[in-house]
Chain A
Amino acid sequence: MHITLKVWRQKNQQDRGHFETYQLDQVNEDMSFLEMFDVLNDQLIREGKDPVAFDHDCREGICGMCSMYINGRPHGPLKGTTTCQLHMRHFKDGDTIVVEPWRAAAFPVIKDLVVDRSAFDRIMQAGGFISVNTGSAPDANAIPVEKDKADAAFAAAACIGCGACVAACKNSSAMLFVSAKIAQLALLPQGQPERKTRVLNMIAQMDKEGFGSCSNIGSCEAECPKEIPITFIAKANREYLQAMLAPDLPE
């Protein structure tokens, strides 16, 4: 396969950045998208040029580190698939592929296709946890959890924190990411004690980090590589409304 790649190159955060065009002649259809970039980088290094920096680690679709915006879509055209699991057989010989980094004010570009997603960690620090110290937990079977709720909590917890939802959203909103964590913990009995403060704090932090608000457009759900449903955003909205209208203690 012959592929023309238009790749965003940006030296560092201050650099304005630009596109470079590369020709790849020997792309194999069984290659993954990232393996194609390995081949490109190999070629660039041999030519004495700077290889393209991109984030990746597990290459099996679970660590959430890979993050390419491919032909206008986060993680490319295939539904429910991360960039590392996207294979070249989904492209045609002679295709031109445009690759950009995630773009959002809250995800500044570090270099080329590498962006800083530490905002997600800070949102988690704002409340994405249950405050329980090691050693003090009751027996795991002491509190039964309805299977349906446990399954729903798992579906929310399947989020890999890659940021595709932000990259896809017109508003660069992180609501799908934030709501998945809020929903997971709100569905479980263990998450009840901090339920109200959690939703308020996490959403406040999301705002502080510079993510937009949700307009229920649905791009996030369509592009999420783990297919986290947008219904969790509605769930988080309800949690927010409850926390705001019915605080537990008089202020």
Chain B
Amino acid sequence: MELDAKIPQGTLSDKWKHYKDTVKLVSPANKRRLDLIIVGTGLAGASAAASLAELGYHVKVFCFQDSPRRAHSIAAQGGINAAKNYQNDGDSVFRLFYDTIKGGDYRSREANVYRLAEVSTAIIDHCVALGVPFAREYGGLLANRSFGGVQVQRTFYAAGQTGQQLLLGAYSAMQRQVALGNVEVFARHEMMDLVIIDGKARGIIARNLVTGELERHGAHAVLLASGGYGNVFYLSTNAMGSNVTAAWKAHKRGAYFANPCFTQIHPTCIPVSGDYQSKLTLMSESLRNDGRVWVPKKKDDPRKPTEIPEDERDYFLERRYPAFGNLVPRDVASRAAKERCDAGFGVGPSKMAVYLDFRSAMERYGHAEAHRLGIADASEAKILELGKQIIAEKYGNLFEMYERITGENPYETPMRIYPAVHYTMGGLWVDYELMTTIPGLYALGECNFSDHGANRLGASALMQGLADGFFVIPYTIGNYLADEIRTPKISTDHPAFAEAEHRVKEQIDRLMSIQGKETVDYFHRHLGKIMWDKCGMSRNAQGLQEAISEIRALREEFWKNVRIPGTADSLNPELEKAGRVADFLELAELICIDALHRNESCGAHFREEYQTPDGEALRDDEHFAYVAAWEYRDGKEYTLHQEPLHFEVVHPTQRSYK
């Protein structure tokens, strides 16, 4: 199948306007008769549910958590980008577009990214109107901060809880529609399969997680907003329940999966402390503004970090990247830390961590503060004390969080950090209208592949989720539904529903009947280790080939030897996890296949074979300037479809941070 991204005609800046001017519309009377299903209630799902219900569609929303407000968007800390140029620092739609394309290492679609930048401003307007308490200046206007190395201040934030505040805004807009009867929420429900009738997405099979019942839900279109698949690595900063099942089931029914190997690693996470570890906690990227990253120059140095003198420390980021130092992008910082740990210089009990040290910043701030207060001959202790106060003002809550988790006081001893899986740029392939390769099936937010290319910039995930839900899908879905106004209510008695339900039941019965020896977590942990070791921050052909055969073997063992307690007709978290891990075990293979086929290094995808002599990523625009969209075959093979990326406005260049 030829992949048609349906990019509108016209110059880049006119495409979206032109599209909106000419797109088909659905009349209010017809909207009332059309049913939509949305899976997931994060920023993309909740905002889509709210805005589509406002238009008059009847919307059913599904989430596996106990309330739609728990979706993992809630955990985003930093902020949301928008090209408002409130700071008068030269920002514009074009600059946000350009930074996003460049940050994505030239592996995203220009038209989509430009539209994202265009609608970004309306997101902020709408969120403020919804009562989102963004940070403000004393004059009462909105505050901004800079983020992730861009040269303007365009990030809007609400302390370190921006994701929470935005999600609660979208959630409240959706709850208003629930009260009006336009949205029905099915919490503690998990989508188990997609139902396709005559080639179009017409509904889902959902499992009521409390009773175990399988339910059939029909609709004129199905929207997936089910988030990313970072938990394929077992340990990630994702929530425990974050999973790929909805997207993967859609993939198995015919939706192409694009660029699965583009998985982002975040450099500043709290390191693993033991085998029992269930998840990793992110520390905001902003810490690198004042913290210096180092390891001891001596291998296995037994001394405490505070006892290691200055000249025996290796500030490896400053050494390798003198221009950007500790502020290199996420992928570069992560790889550099891994390189040091692999070489045996790691610190902490696991030796898989590096120090993030605030001592110099404390001294610097302390001196400035002493000067400001007019203390002429301040003692070293006094300077440090003053410096600590400044650091506490800036990062107090993060320092507290670190201490709560590790039991160490980061004011006294350097933090230990290590990279962790954080976000997945890959996802279901969608066209300009956010429709997958299955007509009537849409993918929004992190679960699609569209806007971030090979690497996502900080504070852009929230922007994309809300852009898709509030300002893109309400327009684009009309183009499809305009032709569906004569389609009557989708009957769930159709054989396609029975067949899909049967398929789901069969899988559940099969899982329950294995009664092997190992727990679901055992397999998940194992899978995570394979993926992290061989398909994590850096990859090579040999490792990936090994990973593929190891994953296959593990998958086989899973289906022979997993043990699921309890029954399928009641609340059974182990059964839920088993279904999700079964899908991760399939996706993992595709990630490795994709990583293996992409013979270049770009963004978050670093192939050791493709690097410059001094260890930097080496992109291959001649052969790989395309989106790799994979078609599911039979679980053994995947067919590659390429969507070439045409850069009409920006011209790919090699990134350099030296």
> Do A and B come from the same complex?
yes
Residues of A in contact with B (beta carbons under 8 Å apart) = 11-12, 28-32, 34-35, 38-39, 41-42, 44-46, 48-51, 53, 55-65, 78, 81, 85, 87, 89, 110-111, 114, 116-118, 120-121, 124-126, 128-141, 143-147, 150-151, 153-154, 157-158, 160-161, 184-185, 188, 190-191
Q: Which residue of A lies closest to B404 (CB)?
A: A85
The reply to whether the CB of B210 lies closer than 8 angstroms to some CB of chain A is: yes
- A contact patch SS: loop
Inside 8 A of B274's CB, which chain A residues have their CB?
28, 30-31
The minimal Cβ–Cβ distance linking A198 to chain B, given in whole angstroms, is 11
Task: Report yes or no: A57 in contact with B574, Cβ–Cβ below 8 A.
Answer: no
Known interface pairs A31-B276, A147-B140, A188-B133. Does A87 touch B404 (Cβ–Cβ under 8 Å)? Answer: yes
Inside 8 A of B54's CB, which chain A residues have their CB?
133-134
Total A-B Cβ pairs within 8 A: 223
Q: Which of B277-285, B289-297, B452-460 contacts A (4 or more CB under 8 A)?
A: B277-285
Q: Which residue of A lies closest to B183 (CB)?
A: A125
Q: Which residue of B lies closest to A52 (CB)?
A: B573
Size range of the chain B interface in the assembly: 35 or more
Known interface pairs A59-B239, A121-B185, A134-B474. Does A129 touch B66 (Cβ–Cβ under 8 Å)? Answer: no
The minimal Cβ–Cβ distance linking B382 to chain A, given in whole angstroms, is 30
Inside 8 A of A190's CB, which chain B residues have their CB?
128-131
Inside 8 A of B137's CB, which chain A residues have their CB?
147
Besides A61-B401, A87-B407, A147-B137, 11 other A-B contacts (C-beta < 8 A): A28-B274, A53-B571, A58-B74, A59-B281, A117-B66, A128-B175, A132-B126, A132-B173, A140-B128, A144-B136, A190-B129
Task: Report yes or no: B571 in contact with A111, Cβ–Cβ below 8 A.
Answer: yes
Partner of A45 from B139, B179, B406, B519 at Cβ < 8 Å: B519
Most buried by B among A38, A51, A150: A150
Q: Which residue of A lies closest to B168 (CB)?
A: A157
Kindly supply a per-residue 1/0 record for chain B positions 135-151, scoring 1 wherever the CB is within 8 Å of any chain A CB and 0 otherwise: 11111111000000000
Kindly supply a per-residue 1/0 record for chain B positions 566-596, scoring 1 wherever the CB is within 8 Å of any chain A CB and 0 otherwise: 1000110110000000000000000000000
The reply to whether the CB of B241 lies closer than 8 angstroms to some CB of chain A is: yes
Inside 8 A of B404's CB, which chain A residues have their CB?
78, 81, 85, 87
The minimal Cβ–Cβ distance linking B524 to chain A, given in whole angstroms, is 11
Cα–Cα, bound, A38→B275 (Å): 11
Known interface pairs A117-B66, A118-B187. Does A57 touch B129 (Cβ–Cβ under 8 Å)? Answer: no
The minimal Cβ–Cβ distance linking B434 to chain A, given in whole angstroms, is 16
The minimal Cβ–Cβ distance linking B610 to chain A, given in whole angstroms, is 35
Inside 8 A of B161's CB, which chain A residues have their CB?
62, 158
The minimal Cβ–Cβ distance linking B225 to chain A, given in whole angstroms, is 15
The reply to whether the CB of B273 lies closer than 8 angstroms to some CB of chain A is: yes
The minimal Cβ–Cβ distance linking B502 to chain A, given in whole angstroms, is 27
Cα–Cα, bound, A53→B566 (Å): 11
A-B contact pairs, 17 of them (CB 8 A): A30-B273, A34-B278, A50-B565, A50-B566, A51-B565, A56-B240, A57-B241, A85-B405, A111-B570, A117-B66, A124-B69, A128-B172, A134-B126, A135-B471, A146-B136, A151-B136, A190-B130
Most buried by A among B70, B178, B406: B70
